[in-house]
Structure 1
Amino acid sequence: MKMAYIKDLEEWASEFDFFIQVTVRFSETDMYGHMNNTVPFTYFEQARIEYLKRIGFMSDWLDPDGENIPVVADLQCDFVQQVFFDETLFIYVKTTTVGTSSIDVHYMAKNEKGHIVFTGRGALVQISKETGKGIPWTSEEKSLFVKEKVK
């Protein structure tokens, strides 16, 4: 298994501490019971939102009077092992890089046996609702990501 965004798999995997648990629903599978290849992106979104809520971002972004919103600029998934109906998965999320107005977010999904079944990464950009242009993180916001990273 070789992904460009993972240099050392063991080290990379050990840096995650936040996760959510999901169970693969029947509607997320094909006629052979395999999880559809679009489903991880839904799991990434669900885990990312819970992660961002935990570190304190979602309330501001969901405020109708707020000025900034998060936008997923890119997102990828690498499949490692087959996943089937009714499997329990643990979807891990971490911030790896904090840019001026973006973050690079990494994902890892493990099954109940502790095997990695898929991984992913994506860029999230904070933009202005009004202009659509990137809005730089404040030093306080950056510290939330950095604090999360060093836990």
Structure 2
Amino acid sequence: MTSARLSEKKPVFVSRIPIRWGDMDAMGHVNNAVFFRYLEQARIEWYSHIGRGENAGLETVVVHCYCTYYAPLAYPGEIEIRTYAGSPGRSSFDIVQEIRRSDTPDTICAIGGSKVVWVDPKTGKSTPLPESIRKLMID
């Protein structure tokens, strides 16, 4: 996914996360696995932002995730994660996220994302996206 193709997606949330010293590895940069934690944190913050309300008792499950790295990150600093939502399906939607350093916002350090399925935790089966969630992605 390139930044240009993000124009096809709807921007839905921006999160800022500090880079912690413990996020770095022996090479002196943020470990590749930590990028997935950053993406997860921003995704959960977006979920909290949109609220559960009428959708209480329903959950999301990540069925696919990826991350492409473009530039290293290192402590100290702060990152900005821009979250975009793709067109929703019956019970799933795509999320694409850009990771940038807050002090150099024109530089994309990584692009990652996930395919998320809306599920009923009682049955473990997919369920149609609630209309209120669908609306957030298409309006």
Q: TM-score, normalised by structure 2?
A: 0.86
Is contact 1:55–1:145 with CA below 8 Å preserved after alignment?
Answer: no
Are 2:101 and 1:101 aligned?
A: no
CA-based RMSD: 2.1
Structure-2 residue corresponding to 1:92? 82
Q: 130, 140, 144: which is aligned to 2:132?
A: 140
Aligned residues with identical type, % of pairs: 26
| Equivalent position amino acid for 1:125 in 2 | V
* Residues 2-151 of structure 1 mapped to structure 2, 5 A cutoff: 5-6=1-2, 9-10=3-4, 12=6, 16=11, 18-57=13-52, 63=56, 66=57, 68-111=58-101, 112-114=103-105, 115-147=107-139
| 2:62–2:116 CA contact under 8 A, matched in 1 | yes
Q: Which runs of 5+ in 2 are unaligned?
A: none
How far is the alpha carbon of 1:19 from its aligned partner? Answer: 1.1
Quick one: structure 1 residues 129 and 21, their matched pair in 2 at CA, closer, same or farther if it must change by over 3 Å?
same
Report the alpha carbon displacement of residue 60 of structure 1 after superposing the two structures with TM. Answer: 5.8
11 and 128 in structure 1: CA distance in 2 versus 1, 3 angstrom threshold: closer
Q: Highest relative contact order (Cα 8 Å, sep 6+), 1 or 2? A: 2
Structure ranking higher in strand proportion? 2
Does the 8 Å CA contact 2:83/2:97 hold for their aligned counterparts?
A: yes
Structure 1 position 15, deviation (Å): 5.4
Q: Tell me, yes or no, if the aligned pair for 1:19 and 1:92 is still in contact at 8 Å.
A: yes
Any idea what SS the aligned residue of 1:52 has? helix
In the TM superposition, residue 52 of structure 1 has moved relative to its aligned partner by 1.9
SS at match of 2:87: strand
User: How much does 1:20 deviate?
Assistant: 1.1
Shift of 1:16: 3.3
What letter matches 2:24 in structure 1? T
Q: Which consecutive residues of structure 1, in runs of 5 or more, have no partner in the other structure?
A: none
